[in-house]
Structure 1
Amino acid sequence: MKLLVIYVHPNHRCLNHAFLREIVRGSEENDAVEEVEVLDLYAEGFDPVLVFNEEKRRRDMHAEPALERYRQQIKRADKLVFVYPIWWGRPPAMLLGYIDRMFASGFAYRDNGKLLPEGLLKGKTAVCVSTMKGPAGYMLFWLYNAHKTLMRKALLRYVGFGKVKFFEFGSMESPRGKHKEKLDKIYRYFRTMTA
């Protein structure tokens, strides 16, 4: 199994980066994982801004030369792992911009005249590891699972992904946030996952 871990936080001295380290550590100790590649969108200076004009047409986005390396990362990976905070009830704009630019028609999906397009990233799975200041139940009870609906249905399943697993950790700015237990949970999951 080949993993592409997409890290989306501007600060490396934060809890999200600690989760990233545990994901990598657990994966490297897992015999089922052949390769772990980390893409740090902020450190990479990834440009999340879509540009459409006379020179850059939307229909050509799937072949934009500047994004070829990122397309190859996605193609190689069996599983994409997203690590990010939840800000304003959704992933950071940097991650959404990455998805806007990478999940283009002709690469991630193809219109087929039916209600839903054909997903071209079939066979891949995903794990979303997210943190938030508020309590974990906030997303479920106040926002009606909007984050999971966005990531699972509107984005990943739309382009053909199969299983999408979530770890939503709440109360992460509280000293009673059980940080160590949550980090251990992530480490154990990635050390023992089989698909």
Structure 2
Amino acid sequence: MKHLVVYAHPSAESFNHAILETTVQALKKKGHEVVVRDLYALDFQPVLKPEDTAAIRSGNTPVDILTEQKFIAEADVVTFIYPIWWTGLPAMLKGYVDRVFSYGFAYAYGATGIDKLLTGKKGLIINTHGTPKEIYDSIGMTAGLKITSDTGIFEFTGIEMVEHLLFGSIPSVGQAALDEILVQVEETVTTLF
């Protein structure tokens, strides 16, 4: 299978980076083809500008957007790895979605409603957040995050969600718990794919 991993964290020393490495190694160990798009390392331009929208509408999609769309089009599985900041996607990843998951590429309006143009692909999301998981669960934030990204981004465009892992209290849980999380990530990826 061809996997596209879209990664959004500015620090190579972050726990998210350890999750990225674990995910990629687990997939490669099983013989999968993996492409990583590290948005910060790429210095991806996240701001959707009026000229981007005009160019897309006229059929002259900007090269940086076309490049990312090509990776998505070629992937069987799209994985997002990112931290939850202020109860949502980091601006870098939100901008990636705004620009790359554009009308006519990821979705369109058809005679019967929304045409999901990325149907046939699978989706995996792995998140970390500093708040304890129990608090996010009790206030409905975990469910809200899943609706926003699983339903609002992936399922809206036809990507079938296979799993959404959310890990709380990062990085304060301690090294033993962090190590256990990496084992869980590896086991999940290995089992799903």
Amino acid at match of 1:180: D
Segments of 5+ residues of structure 1 without an aligned counterpart are none
Asked if the contact 1:2/1:77 (under 8 Å) is kept, the reply is yes
The answer to whether the Cα contact below 8 Å between 2:56 and 2:62 also exists between their aligned partners in 1 is no
Higher RCO (CA < 8 A, seq sep 6+): 1
2: CA distance, partners of 1:59 / 1:139: 39
Q: In the alignment, is residue 15 of structure 1 matched against residue 19 of structure 2?
A: no
CA distance in 2, matches of 1:14, 1:136: 19
Tell me the amino acid that sits aligned with residue 76 of structure 1: E
* Alignment of 1:125 onto 2:122: yes
Aligned counterpart, 1:49 = 47
Other structure's SS at 2:171 match: coil
Task: Give the TM-score normalised by the residue count of structure 2.
Answer: 0.91
Instruction: Pick which of 50-59 and 124-133 moved more.
Output: 50-59
Q: 2:26–2:190: 8 Å Cα contact kept in structure 1?
A: yes
CA RMSD of aligned residues (A): 2.0
1:8: how far off? 0.3
TM-score by length of 1: 0.90
Query: Normalized per residue, which structure has more helix?
Result: 2
1:94 partner letter: M
| Residue in structure 1 matching 2:135, options 103, 122, 138 | 138
Change (3 A) 1:60 1:10: farther
1:147-166 equivalences in 2 (<5 Å): 147-166=145-164
1:20 match: secondary structure: helix
Q: How many residues of Structure 1 are paired with residues of Structure 2 in the alignment?
A: 191
- Taking the aligned partners of 2:80 and 2:58, their CA distance within structure 1 comes to 26
Q: What secondary structure does 1:22 align onto?
A: helix
Percent identity of paired positions between Structure 1 and Structure 2: 32
